[in-house]
Amino acid sequence: MLIDLHCHSNCSDGSLTPVELVNLAHQSNVEVLSITDHDNVDAYSVLYKTKIPLKIITGIEFSTVWNKIGIHVIGLNIDIQSAGLQSSINSQKVARRERAINISKRLEKHGLIDGYNKIIASTNPAQVGRPDFAKLLISEGIAKDWNQAFKKYLGAGKAGDVKSHWLSFDQVLDCILESGGIPVLAHPLYYKLTNSKLKRLLADFVKQGGIGLEVLNGYQNSDKTQYLCQLCREFGLRISVGSDFHEPDGRKKLGIDTKYFSGMDSVWELL
């Protein structure tokens, strides 16, 4: 069975509409799909009146902070009408907007004038993030390409690296659990933590009610996948998988074959 429990539509930073994303998943023989847009569930209001050719699991990818490190936690099978979830989403939306405005102000010192309003006027994205500023830096000739935009202006420690006042780690997990969902730690290797620090993160995650660990996130070296599967066994976590698909550019494809994980406890057994 092909499943995908981590992907994005244009309701956050993906390029396809929710309907286009579902249709592509169906064409790719994906049987179970969760659209996990950043800090919102808007995709599901779009899909509400649409005939769905595969099983859809409600989802969201929350931004939060653990020990001053930005962390993403996925919530699967959530009740999108939950009052607590909606309150958390509203809080995150405010944080995202304030962060984007602060990035814009900081980049003015580097020649990008009124960046936030230019982005809104030109594309009116569902969310304004660093990728939008990268595109604008390039289009205005301040950065020559994507790599330079992040290396000089938007990467860690640079002017556009603005920390947001996200919901706390425990608030995010409580919110997901209270809405009947399954908390999954997203792309654990993305944070570039040492082995000991990653284990401390997982220990805290389990303590706060975490249930799943994303052991495969798009294309990944098999040694890394095996390492994460071992951590699942060590910490009593269920495995989860996803493509982290954003756009049909050939780098990431929708759908992960579950046959590679037979015999392991998984989150999709709970869905």
- Tens of pLDDT along 44-100? 999 987 888 999 999 999 999 999 999 999 999 999 999 999 999 999 999 999 999
pLDDT computed for residue 48 by the predictor: 84
Whether residues 104 and 23 fall in one domain: no
**Rg of the Cα trace of the chain?**
18
pLDDT computed for residue 246 by the predictor: 94
pLDDT computed for residue 49 by the predictor: 79
Whether residues 60 and 100 fall in one domain: no
Is pLDDT of 162 > 80? yes
pLDDT computed for residue 4 by the predictor: 98
DSSP 269: G
This prediction's pTM? 0.93
What is the identity of the amino acid at 84? G
CATH number where 98 lies: 1.10.150
Q: Residue 105, exposed/middle/buried by CB under 10 A (0-12, 13-18, 19+)?
A: middle
pLDDT computed for residue 151 by the predictor: 95
CA 21 to CA 33: how far, in whole Å? 10
In contact, 30 and 52? CB cutoff 8 Å: no
What is the identity of the amino acid at 44? Y
Residue 170 lies in a domain: no
pLDDT computed for residue 223 by the predictor: 96
CA 121 to CA 60: how far, in whole Å? 27
Whether residues 28 and 139 fall in one domain: no
What are all long-range contacts of 43-48, with beta carbons under 8 Å and residues at least 24 apart?
Answer: 43/9, 43/11, 43/18, 44/18, 44/80, 46/11, 46/17, 46/18, 46/19, 47/18, 47/19, 47/22
Q: Which two tokens stand for residue 89?
A: 């989403």
pLDDT tens digits, one per residue of 5-38: 999 999 999 999 999 999 999 999 999 999 999 9
Residue 198 lies in a domain: yes
User: Torsions phi, psi of 60, nearest 5?
Assistant: -155, 150
Residue 160 lies in a domain: no
Whether residues 66 and 95 fall in one domain: no
Residue 208 lies in a domain: yes
Residue 175 lies in a domain: no
Whether residues 73 and 186 fall in one domain: yes
Residue 132 lies in a domain: yes
CATH number where 19 lies: 3.20.20.140
pLDDT tens digits, one per residue of 173-227: 999 999 999 999 999 999 999 999 999 999 999 999 999 999 999 888 999 999 9
Whether residues 8 and 134 fall in one domain: no
- Note down the domain range covering 18: 2-78+181-270
Average pLDDT, the chain: 95
Whether residues 25 and 146 fall in one domain: no
Is pLDDT of 269 > 80? yes
Number of domains in the chain: 2
Whether residues 138 and 214 fall in one domain: no
Residue 262 lies in a domain: yes
pLDDT computed for residue 189 by the predictor: 96
Whether residues 69 and 106 fall in one domain: no
pLDDT-above-70 percentage for the chain:
100
E strands within the chain?
A: 2-4, 32-33, 55-56, 59-66, 69-76, 182-185, 212-217, 238-242, 256-257
Comparing 123-132, 172-181, 200-209, 252-261, the range with the smallest average pLDDT is 123-132
Is pLDDT of 238 > 80? yes
pLDDT computed for residue 50 by the predictor: 82
Pairing of strands 238-242, 212-217: parallel
Nearest one of 64, 60, 25, 28 to 42, comparing CA atoms? 60
Residue 171 lies in a domain: no
Whether residues 111 and 137 fall in one domain: yes
Whether residues 185 and 264 fall in one domain: yes
Is pLDDT of 250 > 80? no
Whether residues 199 and 67 fall in one domain: yes
3-state SS, residue 178 = helix
Q: Which two tokens stand for residue 67?
A: 């020990």
